[in-house]
Amino acid sequence: MTHASLNTRFAQHFALTTPLALAPMALATGGALAAACAQAGALGLVGGGYGDLAWTQREYTLATELLKSDAAAHARLGCGFITWKLDENAQALDWVLTQKPCAVMLSFGDPRPYAARIAAAGAQLICQVQRLDQVPQALEAGAAVIVAQGGEAGGHGANALEGRSTFTLVPEIADYLAAHAPHTLLLAAGGVADGRGLAAALMLGADGALVGSRLWATQESLAATGAKTLATHTSGDGTARSAVFDILRRKNWPAPYDFRAIRNALHRQFEGHIAALQASPDAARAEYDAGVKAGDFTRAHATVGEAVGLIADIPPAAALIARITHQAQALLAP
């Protein structure tokens, strides 16, 4: 049963018991985490990410298997992809669509080339944007849901030149949608890690929130245990957004996007020398690769946003969703 204050249009549209969606974080949001979130009453989006077919098949199939005896939860299962990678190879999207997901989320690129096939499969299109000027394109694609992602978010987002803050982006897009597409739903993303964030998102005009970093630090997340543990000891001062880890990971991200993670020793070494790192990355990449292999997060990256300062434990996802929901209910109670 959804509490009245949280029974938003988004919750009603997807038959959720809380207006939360799991961010489809590449390589972290696997089938177990997506299934746990769906069972807890949230929208569970598997992190299809870069469109690796075998990974997507394995993790989405796992989620389906975990939810096979829970039809209501299975109806809350979907998947998300990095749009510019689909432009190179959309096999994983096409396979997911055969599994009848309730929703497909597209981020970082033009969603319009994929809109027709997503609609034909009966899935709802969710489009993530980082700026107001990206909204008309998402509406043209037929997005049922717009995700307004502020620069506070972990992982990929708009860079410092192009990015916006969640606190101002959400109400501005809410006003735009009210005037131009009043039936389109809006989620806030970037910095939402507890019930205060969810309540604030609703006050700003959103219909719910997309949660990444906080659900990354749960037991079901595929993120490395050492990375999660580091996050519990890191304050919100401890992340930075730059191109460093994309270069070290050989990810050729287009402008205007870059990557927020914990600002570790290797990041600090190169953050003032981006052009030099791009020109001659081999030694730094070897150092990074060795850090990943050793589980050494002074060199390997831990993908969290500014909300890392609100992460103090690594609970099961269902317990975390209940905690966020109950806190928001208390704050919104009349």
* Contact between 125 and 147 (Cβ < 8 Å): no
> What's this model's pTM, rounded to 2 decimal places?
0.97
Question: How many residues make up the chain in this entry?
Answer: 334
Note the pLDDT of residue 176. Answer: 98
**Domain limits, CATH 3.20.20.70, in the chain:** 4-223+313-332
pLDDT at position 23: 98
pLDDT for position 151: 97
Residue 5 has pLDDT above 90, yes or no: no
Mean pLDDT of 140-144: 98
Pairing assessment for the beta strands 103-107 and 77-82 based on DSSP bridges: parallel
Q: What is the Cα–Cα distance from 255 to 77, expressed in whole angstroms?
A: 31
- Does the N-terminal peptide bond of residue 256 adopt cis geometry, omega within 30 degrees of 0? yes
CB 25, CB 49: distance < 8 Å: yes
Average pLDDT over residues 12-27: 97
Pull the structure tokens for residue 73: 């939860």
pLDDT at 202 over 80: yes
- SS3 label, residue 104: strand
Quickly state the pLDDT bin for 2 (edges 50, 70, 90). Answer: low
- Per-residue pLDDT band for 1 (boundaries 50, 70, 90) equals low
3-state secondary structure of 103: strand
* Continuous H helices in 40-82: 53-66, 71-74
pLDDT tens figures, 171-184: 999 999 999 999 99
Residues 6 or more apart whose Cβ sits within 8 Å of residue 208: 8, 10, 11, 16, 19, 20, 21, 185, 187, 188, 198, 201, 202
- pLDDT of residue 110 exceeding 80, the answer is yes
Q: Look-up: residue for tokens 């292999």?
A: 293
Closest to 238 measured CA to CA, from 330, 154, 316, 168? 154
Cα separation, 288 vs 264, in Å, equals: 11
A 10 A CB-CB count for 246 gives 17
pLDDT for residue 149 is more than 90: yes
pLDDT at 3: 74
> Distance of CA 91 to CAs 23, 67, 86, 119, 307, Å?
21, 24, 8, 17, 34
- Select from 74, 325, 106, 302 the least CA-distant residue to 209: 325
Collect all residues with Cβ–Cβ distance below 8 Å to 220 and sequence separation of at least 6. Answer: 30, 32, 33, 36, 316, 317
Encoded tokens for 187: 């989620």
Quote the tokens at residue 154.
């972990």
Average pLDDT of the chain, as a whole number: 97
What's the rounded Cα separation, in Å, for the pair 242 and 182?
35
Q: Say which residue the tokens 């975990």 belong to.
A: 66
pLDDT tens, position by position, 281-326: 999 999 999 999 999 999 999 999 999 999 999 999 999 999 999 9
**What percent of the chain stands above pLDDT 90?**
98
| Rounded Cα gap, residues 127 and 80, in angstroms | 10
Averaged pLDDT for residues 7-12? 97
- Per-residue pLDDT, averaged over 73-101, amounts to 98
Q: Which long-range contacts (CB under 8 A, 24 or more apart) does 120-125 make?
A: 121/97, 123/78, 123/97, 124/13, 124/14, 124/78
CATH, domain range 4-223+313-332: 3.20.20.70
Please report where in the chains the tokens 């299962």 appear, as a residue.
Answer: 77
For range 104-113, the mean pLDDT: 98
The contacts found for 233-239 with CB under 8 angstroms, 24 or more apart, are 234/262, 234/302, 234/304, 234/308, 234/309, 234/311, 235/308, 235/309, 236/306, 236/307, 236/308, 236/309, 236/310, 237/309, 238/262, 238/263, 238/308, 238/309, 239/154, 239/263, 239/304, 239/305, 239/306, 239/308
**Closest CA relative to residue 147, chosen from 186, 184, 198:** 186
